[in-house]
Amino acid sequence: MKIEDARVIVTSPGRNFVTLKIVTDEGVTGVGDATLNGRELAVASYLTDHVVPALLGRDPSRIEDTWQYLYKGAYWRRGPVTMTAIAAVDTALWDIKGKVAGLPVYQLLGGRSREGVTVYGHASAPDTESVLAEVARYVDLGYKAVRVQTGVPGLQTTYGVGRGRMFYEPADAAVPSEATWSTERYLAHTPQVFARVRDEFGPDLRLLHDVHHRLTPIEAARLGRDLEPCRLTWMEDPVPAELQEGFRLIRKHTTTPIAVGEVFNTIWDCRQLITEQLIDYIRTTVVHAGGITHLRRIFDLAALHHVRSGSHGATDLSPVCMAAALHLDVSIPNFGLQEYMRHTEETDQVFPHSYRFEDGYLLPSESPGLGVDVDETLAARYPYKPASLPVNRLEDGTMHSW
Ligand code: KDG
Ligand code: MG
C-alpha cells in the first residue's frame, strides 16, 4: 500500500480548523487534525509545501518511521507549527492502520484500560452567583468534574470566561484584541468563588480551575494555598512554563495539584516537570504534541513519575483530535481526566464522528480506525476567517501573559 494523495482542508464552521486527509492507492483514507489556534495557515503551508510532497509514495503502515523521518528530517526540530503538522500525519496514519486492521485504534494501543473516559466541562460566568447556576447545569448533565472560571470584579473581560454556554471561543479578532488584567483583584476573588462552589456542591464533585499562565511562581503558590480547603482536582497553567524549575517554588508551598502542558509540543517541554514530579497532570494533546505516537511516549514517561494525563480539549481542537485523544485516554494506564468543550452543530456536521457522551464519560468509537471523518463538500462552504487569541495588559499598560 502507498500514499497516493494528501489533502489539506481549511474550513471555518464557526471557527477555523485545518485537517489533513491521506488517501492510499487502495482507497483507504485517514484524517488528522492540524489546527493551531490563530496560526492555522502556517501549519497548512508547512503541510502543503513541505510535508505532503515527501509523503507521496510512502508506505502508510510505517507510522514510527514516518514520524522519525518528519521530525529528524526537517533539521528544525520541535515548535508548535512543525509538531502540529507531524501530529496530523501521525493521526491519519493510525486511522488508516485501524481501518486496514478492521479495529478501533484503541485496540491497536493495547485495548481498554477503563470503561469510559471521564471528562470535565466548563462552567464559566461573569460572577459567582451566575457561575453556581452553570455548575449546577453541568452536574445535571451528568458531569463528574467541572472547571470553574468567573469574571474578576473591576475587570471588563477575563480570558477563559465564555460568551456562550457549552463552549467558548477566545480567538475573536484578526488582530489580537487587548484586555486588562490585575493579579491583585484575581487573587482576592478566586478563593471566594471556590469556597461558595464547594459549599454548594459538596465534597464529591471534582473542581478545576485554569489560571491561563497569568501568575508568578510565588503568586501561584499563594493561590494554591488559598484554594487548599476547596480540594481542587487541579490548578492549571499557574505560570508560563518555559522555566520548568519555577514549579519547584509552587510545589514547596502548596498541595493543590498542578496541571500543565496544553502549549507544549514535545516530551522535552515537560521532561523536567515530569521527572522531578513537579506536576500532577500533563495536558499535552494529540494535535499539538506530535500525534498519537509522541503523546503516548509523553504519557509513558509520566506514568513512571506518578503523573496522570489530562489532555486539552477546547473547541479549537477538532472532533478529529478528540476522537484520537479518546483512543489513547481509554487505553493508557495513567489516564486522569479529559477536557471536553463541545463543538457547534456546524462543526459536528463537518466532522461526522461516533464518539459519544454518556453520564459524565466520553466513549470512543468502536468503528475501525478513529471513527471520525471530514465532509469535504460541507467544509468548502465555510471559508477561513482570520482570528487571533487576545492579549492582556496590566492596568498600567504593561504587556502580560494571555
Ligand atoms: O487555543 C487556546 C485555547 O484552547 C485555550 O485557551 C483553552 O486554556 C484553555 C483550556 O484549558 O481549554
Ligand atoms: Mg487551559
- For ligand 1, whether the C-beta of 40 sits within 6 Å is no
The phi, psi pair for 322, rounded to 5°, reads -60, -45
- Nearest alpha carbon, ligand 1 atom 3: 314
- For ligand 1, whether the C-beta of 339 sits within 6 Å is yes
Q: Can 212 be counted among the known catalytic residues?
A: yes
* DSSP strand pairing (399-400 vs 391-394): antiparallel
Quote the ligand 2 centre to 312 CA distance (angstroms). Answer: 7
Element (DSSP H or E) covering residue 31 = strand 29-33
The phi, psi pair for 313, rounded to 5°, reads -155, 45
Residue 88 and residue 109: Cα distance in Å, rounded?
18
Q: Kindly give the confidence (pLDDT) of every residue in the chain, 402 residues in length, as a single tens digit, with 9 standing for 90 and above.
A: 999 999 999 999 999 999 999 999 999 999 999 999 999 999 999 999 999 999 999 999 999 999 999 999 999 999 999 999 999 999 999 999 999 999 999 999 999 999 999 999 999 999 999 999 999 999 999 999 999 999 999 998 888 887 666 677 888 889 999 999 999 999 999 999 999 999 999 999 999 999 999 999 999 999 999 999 999 999 999 999 999 999 999 999 999 999 999 999 999 999 999 999 999 999 999 999 999 999 999 999 999 999 999 999 999 999 999 999 999 999 999 999 999 999 999 999 999 999 999 999 999 999 999 999 999 999 999 999 999 999 999 999 999 975
Residue 309 and residue 336: Cα distance in Å, rounded?
5
Quote the ligand 2 centre to 10 CA distance (angstroms). Answer: 24
Q: How many CB atoms lie within 10 A of CB 151?
A: 20
Ramachandran assignment for 371, one of left (phi > 0), alpha (psi -120 to 50 degrees), beta (any other): left
Residue 76 and residue 60: Cα distance in Å, rounded?
23
Q: For 49, which DSSP code?
A: I
Quote the ligand 1 centre to 24 CA distance (angstroms). Answer: 34
Q: Can 159 be counted among the known catalytic residues?
A: yes
Which burial class, exposed, middle or buried, applies to 287 when counting CB atoms under 10 A from its CB (0-12, 13-18, 19+)?
buried
Chain centre distance of CA 204: 25
Residue type at 294? H
- Nearest alpha carbon, ligand 1 atom 1: 37
3-state secondary structure (DSSP) of residue 146: strand
Residue 71 and residue 274: Cα distance in Å, rounded?
22
- Nearest alpha carbon, ligand 1 atom 9: 314
CA distances from 217 to 21, 187, 269 (A): 42, 13, 18
Report the nearest atom of ligand 1 relative to the CA of 210: 11
What radius of gyration, in Å, describes the C-alpha atoms of the chain?
Answer: 20
- Nearest alpha carbon, ligand 1 atom 8: 212
Report the nearest atom of ligand 1 relative to the CA of 37: 1
Q: Which long-range contacts (CB under 8 A, 24 or more apart) does 67-73 make?
A: 67/290, 67/291, 67/293, 67/294, 71/290
Q: Ligand 1, residues 235, 262, 317: which to mutate, most atoms within 8 A of Cβ?
A: 262
Residue 77 and residue 378: Cα distance in Å, rounded?
35
- For ligand 1, whether the C-beta of 210 sits within 6 Å is yes
End-to-end CA, the chain: 46
- For ligand 1, whether the C-beta of 373 sits within 6 Å is no
Q: Is residue 318 a contact partner of residue 35, using CB atoms and an 8 Å limit?
A: yes
CA distances from 36 to 11, 48, 82, 157 (A): 13, 15, 11, 24
Residue 189 and residue 399: Cα distance in Å, rounded?
22
Q: What contacts 179, CB < 8 A, 6 or more positions away?
A: 155, 156, 157, 158, 159, 390, 391, 392, 393
Q: Is residue 373 a contact partner of residue 354, using CB atoms and an 8 Å limit?
A: no
Residue 43 and residue 35: Cα distance in Å, rounded?
7
- For ligand 1, whether the C-beta of 134 sits within 6 Å is no
Query: Cell numbers of 154, please?
Result: 473591576
